[in-house]
Amino acid sequence: MIDCGGVPMAIGVQTDMATPALALHGSRELRDEFLAPAIAGDFVACLGVSEVGSGSDVASVKTRARKDGADYIVNGGKMWTTGGTQADFCCVLANTSEGAPHRNKSLIIAPMSTPGVTVARKLKKLGMRASDTAQLHFDDVRVPQRYRNGEEGMGFIYQNKQFQLERLWGALNSVGMAQRAIDITIDYTHERRAFGRTILDNQSVGYRLAELQTAIGALQALCWQGVEEVVAGQDAIRTAAMAKLKAGRVIREVADGCLQFWGGMGYMDDSRIARIFRDGRLTSIGGGTGDVMLHILSKSMGTFPRDRCRAGTRIDPTPTAPPPHEPHRTGPCHDRHAHSIPQNPDR
């Protein structure tokens, strides 16, 4: 068994992050040239979405692709690109026109061997160390317009669809990591002795592991609900967000709780539980942070403050008198923090 998070991460990028939009929207020619070799294992794919200053806020990416004859000229950079140091092609989200940020982006396939594509550096991470992560630069990179994935201006929409698969994959991967943490901790506490008995002979240890196992089971059920929605062709954005949000919390709780039972050995850099502790922390960050998942869910529930303001709903139905140092606020919305919440519906 490969006992690390980096290897499944590399596989997940190939199958559920960098290629789904290509499979769904790419032309036959584009699929034959890039998707077929990726499925065969001859090509490694990476996804170029996040940038310095544009992580979860995908609508704010700055990379641009301008038309020049039958080509695009791509300029910009991408950050935290999994597999970027060894990929054969990158699925790049770039601005291809002016206008609304949700309608001016396209997904473009850029072969990594194209002049102007450079790997600026390999990034050193807290966890997932067996999976390479790169910062990429695109300097006057010329690619044919036929390498555009689907319709021009639909890149943001396509990418949001890819996020559903990415988030479900991340949640299910966390289920596997959490279960492994439980399994190896049971083995360790069964063998490790203190005060004349094994650690597992303490009833509180068994009870705590049972609680953690229950959390994993509930998360797994939620994940499979999302998978069933995807297979049925339904929009799984809400379920995927719930699964990813819960997965990030469960893997942290499980890894931390299990590590505690390993004592000083669990704090060692080369222990198996420490590796899970490090690798699992990514779940609440990659593919949209936990707070972004809450943002998505609150909008889907109609409880997001600004949406309620647009609907003419008073946030506080029984407002009290304002403090002396604040002006009185009236109208359907008087939440002074509402405008600080990002408006990106997904990332």
pTM assigned to the model: 0.85
Catalytic residues: 166
Higher-scoring residue by pLDDT: 334, 195: 195
Query: What pLDDT digit, counting tens, does each position of 56-72 carry?
Result: 889 999 999 999 999 99
Residue 304: name the closest of 342, 331, 330 by CA.
Answer: 342
Numbered ranges of CATH 1.20.140.10 in the chain: 158-296
Q: Per the structure block, which two tokens stand in for 118? A: 């450079």
The pair phi, psi for residue 289, each rounded to 5°, is -70, 170
12-to-5, 16, 162, 264 alpha-carbon distances in Å = 11, 5, 12, 33
- Please provide the CATH number assigned to the domain covering 158-296: 1.20.140.10
Query: What pLDDT digit, counting tens, does each position of 241-264 carry?
Result: 999 999 999 999 999 999 999 999
Helix axes 237-262 and 272-280, enclosed angle (nearest 10): 150
- Please provide the CATH number assigned to the domain covering 6-153: 2.40.110.10
Numbered ranges of CATH 2.40.110.10 in the chain: 6-153
pLDDT mean over 10-37:
97
